[in-house]
């Protein structure tokens, strides 16, 4: 319920939602596909955060932007796993008149 730096008292200053969504997308790409895709995405997310600081109406201060980035990145690290090339594994074992078939699917 923090007021915005420009003076509006709508209570939506902390954390920055735009920054949170931008960093969530960037960290998803980095976590899932690696730094090759993560670096450009983080650069764009950083620009989004900066634009929320230095806009026409100064919507957020530095703490709002930092908190938005932490929320976005933190949520991705909780719910996103790295991309796996091998999703399906099949195994077979036999011996002494018995057979076993195993299947593992990772997602």
Task: Report yes or no on 32 lying in a domain.
Answer: yes
Q: Which two tokens stand for residue 86?
A: 């091998």
Task: Report yes or no on 46 lying in a domain.
Answer: yes
Residue 85 domain boundaries: 17-105
88-95 vs 98-105, strand pairing mode: antiparallel
Task: Report yes or no on 27 lying in a domain.
Answer: yes
3-state SS assignment for residue 85: coil
6-63: per-residue pLDDT in tens?
A: 666 666 667 777 888 889 999 998 888 888 988 999 999 988 888 777 665 667 777 7
Task: Report yes or no on 43 lying in a domain.
Answer: yes
């Amino acid at each position: 319920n923090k007021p915005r730096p420009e003076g509006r008292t709508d209570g939506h200053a902390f954390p920055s939602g735009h920054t949170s969504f931008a960093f969530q997308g960037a960290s998803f790409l980095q976590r899932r596909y690696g730094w090759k895709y993560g670096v450009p995405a983080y650069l764009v997310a950083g620009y989004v955060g900066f634009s929320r600081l230095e806009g026409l109406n100064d919507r957020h201060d530095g703490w709002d932007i930092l908190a938005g980035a932490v929320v976005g990145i933190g949520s991705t690290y909780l719910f996103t796993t790295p991309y796996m090339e091998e999703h399906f594994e099949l195994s077979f074992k036999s011996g002494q008149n018995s057979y076993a078939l195993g299947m593992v699917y990772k997602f």
